[in-house]
A and B are shown apart, each in its own frame.
Chain A
Amino acid sequence: MQTKQIAFDMTVNGNGIMISAQDLVKIYSNKVKAVDKISFEVREGEVFGFLGPNGAGKTTTIKMLTTLASITEGRASVAGYDVRSHPSSVRQSIGVVPQELTADEELKGIENLILSARLHHVPSDVARNRAGDLLRLVDLEGAADRRVKTYSGGMRRRLQMAMGLLHTPKILFMDEPTLGLDIQTRSKMWEYIRKLNRENDLTVFMTTHYLEEADSLCDRVAIIDEGTIKVSGHPGELKEKLGGDILTIEVSSGLDLTSFFQGIQDVSDVSKKDSTYRITLPRTEKALPAIVQGLSQKGIQISNISFTKPTLDQVFLKITGRSMRDEESPAAPPAWIQSA
């Protein structure tokens, strides 16, 4: 094996960049361009989220990075290895949790883990120890000796995650890790992912079409739509770009207060509809007291006031001009989850 040598030759590893994609293009044999010149970098220890509607190119990107799909154009390196020229070194460095549940139903939980370990050439005594640790981590200790067909959807997802981690990969790829799970199970999954990321310094690359998932879990997200990355950054930064929080005030007064609101410091945008005003506030905590005080000095009564924090949904709406919710058909969980 020359893997060691290759690692030294390619110093990408040194600067803490775990995944680098440069102008990646994927055109399938049926001429469909699934990914169109995307570039991004994922740093060591980061949870990086690929956010986009179904069919945006998320899974194709994961497939290219995990050596399952060939790269039509561009370059990608994973864990310091060029994906095109050193696919087997890449495979050795990554764990993959696919969208489909691939754990074998007829086998026990522990047997699935051991099989996964053998396929990554982990010595069997090491594999048994690690399997025990991982089962504890994902709360499946009690179910280890049960056949997977008796597991619930959430348990299968957790087992799948453990299967991707037995060989202690540097990077974990997760394609829609919470697809088809109910909201409680989903937040439990987020907890596991955070714990893994924190305790094992694991770099995580995940795709999702759940905005709240990207928001709560990811250090950085890239919003991908129609095969291109529209914007990327920290979820907070992206939301800040919207200009801040939205304050909606309804007053019981016929006066036009637009110029009054505009005159208040830290108000960036005001729009009026009847007696309701939509005010954009970059720094709510400063502007809000001034607005309320100003109105009461004028003797104007507020009949309704509400206030929304910007969401990634609004970011998506602003960037693509349509809501992600409209795009997504209710995600049908695979048949074997429904029957479980």
Chain B
Amino acid sequence: MAPFGDTIALTGRALRKYFRNPSAIVPGLATAIFYLALFGNSFNPQNLIPSSSSSGGSALQAFGGAPTYITYLTAGVICLILVFNMAFGGIDLVLDRQLGFLNTLLSAPITRASIYFSGVLQNLVKAMILAFLAFGVAFVIPNGLKLPAGFGILNFVGIFAAFALLGIGLSCVFTALALTLRSIDSLVAIVNFVTLPLVFASGALFPSSSFPGWLKEIADVNPITKASEAARLLIVNGTLTGSNFWTFANDLVYLVVFAVVLALLGYMAARNALKAE
């Protein structure tokens, strides 16, 4: 009971701060627009590969039946936004340590777990808000996201369930990291070193089927591939049947395991990081 209330109180503080400063949302939204509108157009295979047929359909053959490249890309860009925001969300936690706020928490009668879980939760909520906004951006830009006929609310829920599971796993890793590190510089260094390779070695931006063997092997176990694949299946097809459904279910199970394992590992690391010095 009390640990739950502590987690809510701490998460509430962080989110209240976040919403009081709406400009905090701008960089995340800019990433969404840049990747969808600029990357989505400049890297569009339909433009890159001059096609013999005027429809250009052949250029998107490997793209799981997506009608436009941005339709394919949307799920991947949202995963990328989740990665970046989880990673840099840790800065607030490092600041909490540097400014002494963490010490006031540690000398208060709250469980150490609530400090960790509130970190996980606050970053998750912030990033999911951006995920929703990015989905909207993809929808409104010209030649953007095209949803299939019969796309319903349940499909939408399924898409964001996949994102949320990826988000939980990532949030746990980066929260534990942020609680362990003492300086923003080292956090930024690690984040820069980790995030882009993680995204590029996944099927987020291009289908992994076109990758060389060694890279495909990495991409196929990358949780970003699983989340973007699961979300994309629903975005392209709407309600799933047959093998598509089983691929989706398989991805979701993979992501649940990913989230649970990292939540536990993150908790152990965080508990160690929050020990008395």
Interface string of B3-23 (1 = CB under 8 A from A): 001100110010011001100
Q: Is A327 an interface residue (CB 8 A)?
A: no
Complex-state Cα separation, A66 to B108, whole angstroms: 9
Do B9 and A115 touch (CB < 8 A)?
Answer: yes
Do A91 and B109 touch (CB < 8 A)?
Answer: yes
Provide the residues of chain B in CB contact with A100, threshold 8 Å: 99-100, 103
* A102-B100 in contact given A92-B109, A121-B2 (Cβ < 8 Å): yes
Provide the residues of chain B in CB contact with A37, threshold 8 Å: none
Q: Is B110 an interface residue (CB 8 A)?
A: yes
Q: Is B104 an interface residue (CB 8 A)?
A: yes
Q: Is B185 an interface residue (CB 8 A)?
A: no
Q: Is B107 an interface residue (CB 8 A)?
A: yes
The secondary-structure label for the interface of chain B is: helix
* A102-B101 in contact given A68-B107, A118-B5, A119-B110 (Cβ < 8 Å): yes
Complex-state Cα separation, A107 to B103, whole angstroms: 18
Do B103 and A91 touch (CB < 8 A)?
Answer: no
Do B109 and A120 touch (CB < 8 A)?
Answer: yes
Do B9 and A68 touch (CB < 8 A)?
Answer: no
Do B276 and A68 touch (CB < 8 A)?
Answer: yes
Interface string of A97-122 (1 = CB under 8 A from B): 01111101011000100011011110
Least CB separation from B2: chain A residue: A121
Complex-state Cα separation, A3 to B136, whole angstroms: 53
Q: Is B25 an interface residue (CB 8 A)?
A: no
Which B residues between 92 and 114 are near A, CB-CB below 8 angstroms?
99-101, 103-110
Subset of 24 A-B contacts with CB under 8 Å = A28-B277, A63-B277, A67-B276, A68-B103, A68-B277, A69-B277, A70-B276, A91-B107, A92-B109, A96-B103, A96-B107, A98-B100, A98-B103, A100-B103, A101-B100, A102-B100, A102-B101, A104-B101, A106-B16, A107-B16, A118-B9, A119-B6, A119-B9, A120-B109
Which of A's residues lie within 8 Å of B, judged by CB? 28-29, 63, 66-70, 87-88, 91-92, 94, 96, 98-102, 104, 106-107, 111, 115-116, 118-121, 163
Which of B's residues lie within 8 Å of A, judged by CB? 2, 5-6, 9-10, 13, 16-17, 20-21, 99-101, 103-110, 275-277
